[in-house]
Structure 1
Amino acid sequence: MLERFTAPARRVVTETQLEMRALHHGHVGTEHLLLALLRQPAEPAAALLVRHGLDLETARAAVQRLLGESGATIDGAALETIGIDLDMVTARVEAAFGVGALANPGGAAGRGRTRTQGRGTFTTRARKVLELAVRAAQGRGDSSIGTGHLLLGMVREGGGLAVGVLRDHGLDLAEVERETERSLGADAA
């Protein structure tokens, strides 16, 4: 599938891994696609977001605020309501794998999981963004998939953390979609 992606769009997809690792997450979500897109400021899709005040650092801070660096925000009180004592679980894991095992995904607790060269898997939503980017290009009759198509995929997916960051920043998703479509039309002209 990536063979139809332009070089900048391929860079976005591969640089999601850098963003995932920088934030110490174990998966690639829509948020990592957004951050990797913003790493390409010369690309029209990224420039569109920057014109609306959403640059890489602003988006990264929003992701960290919304998701946290570990990617896991566990509410102990919520777990207690269903009979899970988070402190007890933590104590048992640390007894078996060492203190801090839950805080270090690459450490002792990570031994049972294999990740190919530290690569996270794409979440269902992130895969959907890629699928929708391909559909956007096909629907327009475009022969390649660019960063604008990736942005369309994010907006059209509609429920991932990337969309949450866009909305929290005050962006109107319908307007982002229209502007992206216009910029793709200008690229074809």
Structure 2
Amino acid sequence: MDRMTRQARDALQAARHGAARIGNTEVDGEHLLLALLEPVDSRVSRLVAELGVDPAPLRVQIEEELSLRPRVSAADFDPDALLLTRRLRRLLEAATREADELGDECVGEDHLLAALAQEGPATPGGLRLREHGITRDVCRATLARERRPAPSAVERSATTDGW
């Protein structure tokens, strides 16, 4: 978690608070996915929208998935005391590998989304992402387009002049 951007750390903290708010006893991938999607102006919400997916119905589906999990009284525990599931710890490791493979120094929200999408239909969050056409490959392609430097004026004129 040392390499996480502030936004990625904030999402993980929001996932903890979300789990506590609804009375779940541990923090899992769906809590993180919901935390990544909740801010309407977040990088993940914008990325999902760029892929042609309305984040609102996806958020509702994830909330429905979380409502099926066992609950305790939310007043009984501190969000910071909630444990991360083994799966969520593996997701964080996968996000770190995503950052490494892309040559990124820090692990951001986009790496977390790609790691969640990589799970595919094996998990509720991965299944919902896949149903909306969001896969690891699609995430990576979108990220690659964002990272491609804009052509300079000279390059643009060379390609339009037939060179």
TM-score, normalised on structure 1?
0.64
Percent identity reads 24
Give the aligned partner of residue 19 of structure 1. 18
The answer on 1:128 being equivalent to 2:90 is: yes
Distance 1:16 1:127 in 2: 13
How many matched pairs?
144
8 Å CA contact 1:125–1:160 kept in 2: the answer is no
How far apart are 1:36 and its partner, in Å?
Answer: 0.8
Distance 1:69 1:147 in 2: 24
In our comparison, the structure showing a higher alpha carbon Rg is 1
Give the aligned partner of residue 33 of structure 2. 34
Give the aligned partner of residue 149 of structure 1. 111
Give the aligned partner of residue 124 of structure 2. 161
Q: Per-residue displacement from partner, 1:10-63 (whole Å, max 9, x unpaired)?
A: 1111110122123332221111111111134434332111343342x4233202
The answer on 1:176 being equivalent to 2:143 is: no
How far apart are 1:70 and its partner, in Å?
Answer: 4.9
CA 1:41–1:180 in 2, change beyond 3 Å: closer, same or farther? farther
Match for 1:121: what amino acid?
L
Give the aligned partner of residue 76 of structure 1. none
5+ long unaligned stretches in structure 1: 73-103
Q: Higher relative CO (CA 8 A, sep ≥ 6), structure 1 or 2?
A: 1
8 Å CA contact 1:129–1:154 kept in 2: the answer is yes
Distance 2:54 2:23 in 1: 22
CA RMSD, 1 decimal: 2.6
